[in-house]
A and B are shown apart, each in its own frame.
Chain A
Amino acid sequence: MAVGETQVESGSEPGTKEVETGWRATLRKIKRDTTARWGLYVITFVLAITAYTLIDGNLSRLTFGNVSDFAMAEALPIFEHPERLPPPGEADTNVPPAFHADGSMAHPLGTDPNGRDYFTRIVYGAQVSVSVGLAATFLGLVGGTIVGAVAGYYGGWVDDLLMRAVETVYAIPPLILIIVFTVFVSGGSPDVRFAIIGVGIAFIPVFARIIRSEVLSVREMDYIEAARAAGVKDRNIILRHVIPNSFAPVMVYATLQIGVTILIVAGLSFLGFGAQPPTPDWGEMLQTSHSYMHSNVWLSIWPGIAIMITIMGFNLFGDGLQDALDPRIND
């Protein structure tokens, strides 16, 4: 842990010029920080799996022609490829994991009640969970940055109006807001795309608040005044000077927020308002396995562990980044 370093730093004022010049120093600190390094390992591992599933899917599509997503179909033989179904009575349904007495290495984590290989589904589940987590956080980050920067830079009634709106959105618990949004906007048939937008909107307030408070301090800097005096347009000042200089603390928060997003999307899919079957998604898999909780215990175990490891990676990295960038970001 970089506790020793953070102490030394905490004497200097956070959010001043060092942040801008310190990108290389930051990278060095991240490399030295055990927490951040482990977080990075886990994230790389999960991203590598995601990349593999994407490439694998695309390669297969190239090879096998017009199959919508061959690799995914591999994991979902019954829904998309009825012809792949083993003859009745011979389906490998409910095979236990390999370490179980009745298990085999053909299905390391066993199969689900539809005979789909669980390991493949867990691996492909990374694709949905990670991409949804990243996309939704990015959406919230962009939205929040715009709202926060505009509110903080202009101040006055613009600030009041935007911040009241942000407070309103913030007052509705994210999960509730996202469910209401996805269900109503999709007209009663929710899916992942609506979930991403919903999560993005629900996270605008947190990012808007951080950006705004950063902008408020950056706004008073001499170089902003200089730019204004030189006749640079407001829009360009915000885009070129204000936002880049307010970004460091937001990046830390965004990293931690990816974990929260994945957590929420898992809950969303678990309730049936996120990814829909047969898409392999960890939350969706937990929902499906919920009805088999008593007979097939392992079905409920693996997706949860996958979610936990992924989120832990982002949290570890976020913690390390926090120590490296700014020790006092919490308050």
Chain B
Amino acid sequence: MGLLRYTTYRFLQAIPVLIGISILTFVLANLTPGDPVRLMLQGVEADQEMIEQVEARYGLDRPMHERYLDYMAGLVQGDMGHSFHRNQDVASLIASRIGPTLLLVLSAYAFALVTSIPLGIIAAKRRNEPFDHVSRIVALLGVSTPSFWIGIMLILIFAVQLGWLPSADLVYPWWSPEVYGHDGYLEHFVETIRHLVLPMIALGTLQMATLMRVERTQMIESLQGEYVKLARAYGVPERTILRKHAFQVAQLPIITIVGLNLSTALGGAVLIEFVFNINGLGRLFYEAIIQLDYQLIMGITMIIATMFVIGVIITDIAYAYIDPRVTYGEAE
């Protein structure tokens, strides 16, 4: 199988999972004791007639499987339903909020990768030396500390105490500088970064710590590999061994973990967007939950799960592309 066919195959494979996700979210949303209408009308003086009207309006008087099929028919056409609370299209609501979340998650990943890989390699190289011990303690703290608390501490130190960085909201690089009253693109860029730094670190620390631990273990294992011994026997310089032979093999598990950890990062985005007041998908999800806006909740859950599935597929393909040993999809 070629890479293109493998890619198509992986995407086709994802379809049952996506259908499963839609069923799961639909069932969850309908598990509610009482019915969605009563939830929607919470706090509103509603008589029986009004309830029936709303039910008819949203087709809630029909059996669940019919409603599910309707919902799916809409989904296929890109219609994710209607947000009762905001009186807006769910799809367009999500589209308007997805940018900040992607910016946040991707920059958190960039931060995690840029820091974890060099640190992991150095720790592996200087195993059981002070550097190794310190970096392992840092990694341990990183996987043990709630991201939102790191966010709060960062705000307290760098925004409140020192006043160096802003503590809320992002500057969107895709908007024009005039919107923010910035003087040209350089200031626009600098402001984007300044707003991004704290949430990025808060969300990225867990990823950094996880990846650092994996990188270290993989490098240690890789440096003990037969091919490294052979290269050493041939007199290949240690630097070349590290860079070319040991490094490449050690990165493969990292790719897989980057994909799988997207799940934690997307969940973490809800918390970080809450702490830093970022108007992204996570914040929208939080608001939808508070308002029990169930069409919107279903829509966001679907989108976030889809993002995760696509992320995993991309990393799988990257893995297959980089590792020459993989025969696309024939195993299993």
Contact = CB atoms under 8 A, between A and B. Distances in A.
Interface of A: 1, 3, 164-165, 167-177, 179-181, 183-185, 187-188, 259, 263-264, 266-267, 270-271, 273, 283, 286, 290, 293-294, 297, 300-301, 303-304, 307-308, 311-312, 315-316, 319, 330-331
Nearest to B150: A304
B141 A181 contact: no
Contact of B271 (A175, A183, A316): A175
B21 A184 contact: no
A181 B274 CA distance: 20
Contacts of A304: 145-146, 149, 152-153
A179 B153 CA distance: 24
Interface string B290-323: 0010100100110011001100000000000000
27 contacts: A165-B20, A170-B263, A171-B309, A172-B25, A173-B305, A173-B308, A175-B270, A176-B285, A179-B289, A180-B28, A183-B289, A183-B292, A184-B31, A185-B28, A259-B144, A267-B267, A293-B152, A297-B160, A300-B153, A301-B153, A304-B146, A308-B146, A311-B143, A311-B145, A312-B141, A315-B144, A330-B253
A175 B28 contact: no
Interface in B255-278: 263-264, 266-268, 270-271, 274-275
B34 interface: yes
A259 B28 contact: no
B143 A259 contact: yes
Contacts of B294: 184
Contacts of B305: 171-173, 176
Task: Classify chain B: how many residues form its interface, as a range.
Answer: 35 or more
B111 interface: no
Contact of A175 (B17, B42, B267): B267
Interface in B136-177: 140-141, 143-149, 152-153, 155-156, 160
Contact of B28 (A170, A184, A187, A293): A184
B247 interface: no
Interface string B18-43: 00110111001101111000010010
A267 B140 contact: no
Closest 4 CB pairs of A and B: A175-B267, A168-B20, A173-B267, A304-B149
Nearest to B275: A290
B146 A307 contact: yes
A330 B304 contact: no
Nearest to B149: A304
B271 A168 contact: no
B214 A330 contact: yes
A173 B264 contact: yes
B21 A271 contact: no
A188 B39 contact: yes
Given A172-B301, A187-B32, A187-B33, A315 B143 contact: yes
B149 A307 contact: yes
B248 interface: no
Given A173-B304, A180-B297, A271 B33 contact: no
A163 B130 CA distance: 44
B21 A172 contact: yes
Contacts of B264: 173-174
B71 interface: no
Contacts of B240: none
B286 interface: yes
Contact of A167 (B17, B144, B146, B214): B17
Contact of A331 (B17, B29, B253, B275): B253
Contacts of A319: 140
A180 B148 contact: no
Given A164-B16, A290-B152, A294-B160, A311 B144 contact: yes
A180 B28 CA distance: 7
A3 B128 contact: yes
Contacts of B24: 168-169, 172
Given A286-B148, A286-B152, A308-B145, A271 B160 contact: no
B217 interface: yes
| Centre residue among A3, A171, A175, A267 by max chain B CB count within 10 A | A171
Given A271-B271, A315-B140, A173 B266 contact: yes
A300 B152 contact: yes
A171 B21 contact: yes
Given A180-B28, A184-B28, A300-B156, A330 B17 contact: no
B271 A164 contact: no
Given A173-B263, A312-B141, 9 more contacts: A164-B16, A171-B17, A173-B308, A176-B285, A183-B289, A267-B147, A300-B153, A307-B149, A311-B145
A184 B29 contact: yes
A273 B140 CA distance: 27
B143 A271 contact: no
Nearest to A187: B33
A184 B36 CA distance: 9
B156 A293 contact: yes
B267 A176 contact: yes
A168 B21 contact: yes
Nearest to A170: B263
A263 B140 contact: no
Contact of B20 (A167, A181, A293): A167
B302 to A, nearest CB: 9
Nearest to A307: B146
Given A173-B266, A173-B308, A176-B267, A168 B148 contact: no
